[in-house]
Amino acid sequence: MEIEFSAKNAIDFFRTFAELFDAEVKGNTFSLPIHIGNGSGTYHEIEDGLSFFIYDVQLNTTSTLQRKGINESKYFPIICWFSYDKIEQTTSGEKKLISKDSPYGIFLASPKIDFSYLIPAKSRIVVFTITITPDWLRENIGNKGNSKLLKLLESNKPFAIYEEISFNMARYLEKHKKPELEDMVSLLHLRSDVLNFLALFISAVEKRTNTSAASTINHIDIQKLFSVREILTSEYSSHHEIKTLAANTAMSERKLQKLFKDVFGITIYQYALRVKIEEAKIMIETKQYSISEVGYHIGYTNLSHFTAAFKKQVGINPKQYLLSLK
């Protein structure tokens, strides 16, 4: 199945997407008809110039979705691929395999840009899309110096940029995979999480330079580095030797450590520690575990070592962090 679409604003895109798949929009949600696949889409207009969309679908047949660029639109979609199944994206003739754990998990493109997706049958596709306008961004960043992102949005030039979904970015999106927003408090939580995600994304874009060391690394090594990151993230309770990680990627220890820092901005040890402590914070925030249980869960057999590591990363010890929660 081949589908071509374009839209001038965020809501039009949502409705167009539903119509293309023969789905009826009810309120702010659509569900795919059984002859197309299964899954649904939901949108929330958070405030003027800022919207949030969730798509969680599986299609019965392999499909190609092609977006045709348009010259007049003030809405810029930040597309976050939250699927482990890889999707082929083509932009300006360049093909990339994108997924949650690829270097291209986040895609921001000018409305002028054409791009397409090849979606395999039965692949689960989870996509979060946040749309912003230059006016919204200008109003929210204020006079905080020159913003590279704002200049890009206001340039009226075609562009496409990619960014990885960092561990902390994923935290803010993960909780909204199953949207159940009915009351005002839930909507306030959603707004808070979207703004936190945007703060991290915008910060990553603002830190970019035209001579980034990561830009010279070949794509095979990039994929190897992301496989190391996936090990550190998914197996956070284990201790990982650099020599073992290097052997798994067929790199020297020196090369692995250098390239990892070039791409992710911190060392392998620092990344592994950050993942552990972020997981500890999540567990503490549930108020369902003792401090010792949290420490043992993330791989510490010595509680004092856990306390010291947590304080170094967060600024306060685990007990103080628990008491600070409302």
CA distance 32 to 177: 17
Could you tell me the pLDDT band of residue 213, with boundaries at 50, 70 and 90?
A: very low
CATH 2.60.120.10 residue ranges for the chain: 2-206
pLDDT at 169: 87
Over range 217-236, report the average pLDDT.
Answer: 80
- Is the domain defined by 2-206 classed in CATH 3.40.630.10? no
- Is the domain defined by 215-324 classed in CATH 1.10.10.60? yes
- The end-to-end CA distance of the chain, in Å, is 51
Q: Identify the weakest region by mean pLDDT among 24-28, 158-162, 193-197, 317-321.
A: 158-162
Return the structure tokens found at 195. Answer: 């703004």
Signed CA dihedral, 105, 39, 114, 14: sign only? negative
- Average pLDDT of the chain? 84
CATH 1.10.10.60 residue ranges for the chain: 215-324
pLDDT at 261: 82
Return the structure tokens found at 9. Answer: 């604003």
The most confident of the ranges 90-99, 177-186, 291-300 is 291-300
Ramachandran sector of residue 145 (left: φ over 0; alpha: ψ -120 to 50; beta: rest) = left
Examine the pLDDT at 205 and tell me if it is beyond 60: yes
Could you tell me the pLDDT band of residue 74, with boundaries at 50, 70 and 90?
A: confident
Could you tell me the pLDDT band of residue 61, with boundaries at 50, 70 and 90?
A: very high
Neighbours of 18 (CB within 10 A): 20
CA distance 250 to 91: 31
Q: What angle in degrees, to the nearest 10, is found between the helix axes of 253-264 and 219-234?
A: 90
Could you tell me the pLDDT band of residue 215, with boundaries at 50, 70 and 90?
A: very low
Q: Identify the weakest region by mean pLDDT among 208-222, 245-259, 284-298.
A: 208-222
Over range 4-11, report the average pLDDT.
Answer: 72
Could you tell me the pLDDT band of residue 219, with boundaries at 50, 70 and 90?
A: low
Over range 124-138, report the average pLDDT.
Answer: 90
Over range 204-208, report the average pLDDT.
Answer: 77
**Please, how many CA atoms are within 13 Å of residue 156, restricted to the half-sphere of its CB?**
2
* pTM of this structure: 0.70
Neighbours of 74 (CB within 10 A): 15
